[in-house]
Amino acid sequence: MPNSDLIAASAPELTAIRRDLHRHPELLFDVERTAGVVADKLKAWGVDEIVTGLGRTGVVGVIKGKGQGSGKVIGLRADMDALPIHEETNLEHRSTVAGKMHACGHDGHTTMLLGAAKYLAETRDFDGTAIVIFQPAEEGGGGGREMCADGLMERFGVQEVYGLHNMPGLPIGQFAIRKGPMMAAADRFLVKLEGRGGHAAKPNETIDPLVGACQMVSSLQTIASRNADPLDSIVVSVTALKAGEAFNVIPQHVEIKGTVRTLSTGMRDLAEKRFREIVAGTAQAFGLSFTIEYERGYPVTFNHAGQTDFVTSAARTVFGKDAIDTDVPPTMGSEDFSFMLEERPGAYIFMGNGDSAGLHHPAYEFNDAAIPIGVTYWASLVEIAMPRHA
């Protein structure tokens, strides 16, 4: 069991770090200041090896336990980047950068893993090696994919990998997890339609791409309502339709943008197949030419059974048997920790943030009361997975 007094003693320092990170949000891979803070803290706290620039701006720390007989190596991952949102709070430590804020709690995630690194480097009461992974560009940039492509797992010998995210509305000290799909795959599309523009008073002399586009938007909803198994989850959302500027002009071009979310590989493949067929068929029916850009983004965040059982047991051991919900519904949001779970077995868990504004909301605030809980959770995974015997 982690030393709760030692962790509690570090809470004021960690809170100050978290609020400093909150004041200075950085986006995507441009997290040089944040990565610098992380590397400096890891060095000051005696972490054995520190590697920077992995996956462009990621930071990795290696912490060796007092014992090395087990040969086990587990990875713990936190994300560092913020969001392009203007903060709407009156907090003393609110963002100092216009149009950027930590609206998803990555400042808290980074701080909790830093706290765990501090604790583990000081106590080293485990038999094996802990790898602390600080990742850039979770918010759409695929930083997890880039770190894996840069040899993260192979270079550090990671055998299992674990991730964590705060959850507004879930009480402080509570956790939620499920086996299998935890978060959705997220794909995006851009369709460009071209017809023949002209005067709105003479539609018969035009090929109106707007009429075709409207039919297309409606037809795309049949992927979920008529192609998908009703018991399998899928979301097809058209989020932008751009066409024309005048009251009396039928436009020549229309653009349609949106996203497709799925929880299985089979449904992901079916959705793309039907999407392309519907676009092509509708365009042909209305006499339009078209192009499709269909980009597969983050894959399904899939929790491995054995590792989910392990973190569930660890959370119950440390926080009590009622501290974790093991049947939380999956969310159609996405997470690029999914790339790491494709490389190694592991699990991704939600941790309570209390009664706060929702994620990606301009009034969101990470709850500092969660910091010692997150540190304890990370430390417990290491000490329970790699126990040291006298």
15-48 pLDDT, tens digit each: 999 999 999 999 999 999 999 999 999 999 999 9
- Do residues 36 and 53 lie in contact, with contact meaning Cβ atoms separated by under 8 Å? no
Token representation of residue 155: 């270079």
Task: Report the pLDDT value the prediction gives residue 390, as an integer from 0 to 100.
Answer: 61
| Phi, psi dihedrals of residue 242, rounded to the nearest 5° | -120, 125
Q: 185-296 has which fold?
A: Alpha-Beta Plaits (3.30.70)
Give the domain ranges of the chain. 4-183+300-385, 185-296
| Confidence category of residue 62, pLDDT binned at 50, 70, 90 | very high
- Do residues 94 and 19 lie in contact, with contact meaning Cβ atoms separated by under 8 Å? no
103 HSE (CA, 13 A, CB side): 20
Task: Report the pLDDT value the prediction gives residue 383, as an integer from 0 to 100.
Answer: 98
**Is 183 a residue whose pLDDT tops 90?**
yes
Q: Which of 14-18, 96-100, 227-231, 304-308 has the lowest mean pLDDT?
A: 227-231
CB atoms within 10 A of CB 229: 11
Helix 106-123 to helix 11-23 angle, to the nearest 10 degrees?
A: 150
- Do residues 284 and 216 lie in contact, with contact meaning Cβ atoms separated by under 8 Å? no
- Do residues 59 and 131 lie in contact, with contact meaning Cβ atoms separated by under 8 Å? no
**Is 309 a residue whose pLDDT tops 80?**
yes
Average pLDDT over residues 161-169: 98
| First-last CA distance in the chain | 15
The per-residue pLDDT for range 126-155, each reduced to its tens digit, is 999 999 999 999 999 999 999 999 999 999
Task: Give the SS3 label for residue 73.
Answer: strand
Average pLDDT over residues 272-294: 98
- Do residues 303 and 267 lie in contact, with contact meaning Cβ atoms separated by under 8 Å? no
Unique residue bearing structure tokens 């060095």: 43
Return the CATH class of domain 4-183+300-385. Answer: alpha beta
- Do residues 175 and 375 lie in contact, with contact meaning Cβ atoms separated by under 8 Å? no
Q: Which residues contact 384 (CB under 8 A, 6 or more apart)?
A: 310, 313, 314, 317
- Do residues 146 and 341 lie in contact, with contact meaning Cβ atoms separated by under 8 Å? no
| Confidence category of residue 389, pLDDT binned at 50, 70, 90 | confident
Task: Report the pLDDT value the prediction gives residue 365, as an integer from 0 to 100.
Answer: 98
Rounded Cα gap, residues 181 and 338, in angstroms? 10
Rounded Cα gap, residues 355 and 340, in angstroms? 30
**Is 1 a residue whose pLDDT tops 90?**
no
CB atoms within 10 A of CB 11: 15
Rounded Cα gap, residues 242 and 259, in angstroms? 16
Do the bridges between strand 129-135 and strand 175-176 make them parallel or antiparallel, or are there none, so unpaired?
unpaired
- Sign of the Cα torsion 233, 105, 169, 374 reads positive
What average pLDDT does the structure give for the chain?
97
Unique residue bearing structure tokens 């560092």: 80
Unique residue bearing structure tokens 């339009």: 288
Average pLDDT over residues 114-123: 98
Token representation of residue 179: 């086996």
Task: Report the pLDDT value the prediction gives residue 126, as an integer from 0 to 100.
Answer: 98
% residues pLDDT > 70 (the chain): 100
DSSP type of residue 368: G
